[in-house]
Homo-oligomer: A and B are copies of this chain.
Amino acid sequence: MNFIDMLAARWRTDDTLLAVGLDPDPARFPPHLLERPDAIFEFCRSIVDATADLVCAFKPQIAYFASTRAEDALERLVAHIRARHPAVPVILDAKRGDIGSTAEHYAREAFERYRAHAVTLSPYMGFDSIQPYLAYPDRGAFLLCRTSNAGGNDLQMLDAGGERVFERVARLAASTWNTNGQLGLVVGATFPAELARVRALVGDLPLLVPGIGAQGGDVEATVRAGQTSRGVGMVVNSSRAILYAGQGADFAERARGAAQAARDEINRYRLR
């Protein structure tokens, strides 16, 4: 099954729009885990196993693995998800963006080495920097569109001939760039009006929405602004608020509780 169909199945059959972001920060791990040589893998595996039935995707952030020389933990983690939770897709949050020959190597990294089902990309270098990822017909790619950080205004909000730069990215991703139906967009939860604007521009395109939880995005406004007319179309990501809900021996149970609450709160505002 391709990535978009996997996601749609999670939304409908498993009734969840929540994604758990896997940003492992050893400084915030429960003390008992730190004694283990494979603490990063064990932490993430515990979170994954405790929350898999509650999520539509997992989103590992590669920087957290790369900064600590833990690429092998990321490989093992995706292999574990594929083996134990085969219906749950993995979105590798990497925000790559480079010319074609280099992009081919990044695509190989994401899709062959790590075996992710989808990847996040930067649109700044244009369509030919996206194309090499689309050569993997069963995978997906989310392009940065309107990001949730303060600096997101610097370029994304520039007025370019009557539309903002982020609106241009949204239109391109929903039309000429989306040659095989593999694209989605990253739109932060902190600006519901712009999330609604993107939804209006892109039809049913999947939106990856970070920014609820620790980043402060409002769940009700986010879901009302970003869902499709059938109450789906979003991957609402929460990382720190779930990963670090507890710091004791019961951290995975606490993470499950936080994930369940987040999923239910999101579902409360979905159109049915």
8 A Cβ contacts from A36-65 to B: 61, 63-64
- Chain A: residues with Cβ within 8 Å of the partner, total of 51
Contact check, B99 vs A128: say whether CB atoms are below 8 A apart. Answer: no
Contact check, B154 vs A102: say whether CB atoms are below 8 A apart. Answer: no
Query: Chain B contacts of A23 at CB under 8 A?
Result: 101-102
A150 in contact (CB, < 8 A): yes
Contact check, A159 vs B161: say whether CB atoms are below 8 A apart. Answer: yes
Query: Chain B contacts of A16 at CB under 8 A?
Result: none
A106 in contact (CB, < 8 A): yes
Copies in the complex: 2
The CA-CA distance from A183 to B204 in the complex, in Å, is: 40
Whether A105 contacts B158 in the complex (CB less than 8 A), given A69-B71, A95-B97, comes out as: no
A123 in contact (CB, < 8 A): yes
Contact check, A95 vs B66: say whether CB atoms are below 8 A apart. Answer: no
A271 in contact (CB, < 8 A): no
Contact check, A160 vs B165: say whether CB atoms are below 8 A apart. Answer: yes
- Contact check: which of B95, B105, B106, B123 meets A98 at CB < 8 Å? B95
- Chain B nearest CB from A145 CB (Å) reads 10
Contact check, B150 vs A67: say whether CB atoms are below 8 A apart. Answer: no
The CA-CA distance from A43 to B159 in the complex, in Å, is: 47
The CA-CA distance from A158 to B168 in the complex, in Å, is: 10
Query: Chain B contacts of A144 at CB under 8 A?
Result: 97, 124-125
Query: Chain B contacts of A95 at CB under 8 A?
Result: 96-98, 122
* 10 pairs of residues in contact across A and B, judged by CB atoms under 8 Å: A63-B98, A63-B109, A64-B102, A66-B105, A95-B97, A123-B155, A129-B149, A155-B165, A155-B169, A158-B168
10 further A-B pairs in the complex, CB-CB below 8 A; given A63-B105, A95-B122: A23-B101, A63-B96, A64-B105, A67-B106, A95-B96, A95-B97, A99-B147, A126-B151, A128-B149, A158-B165
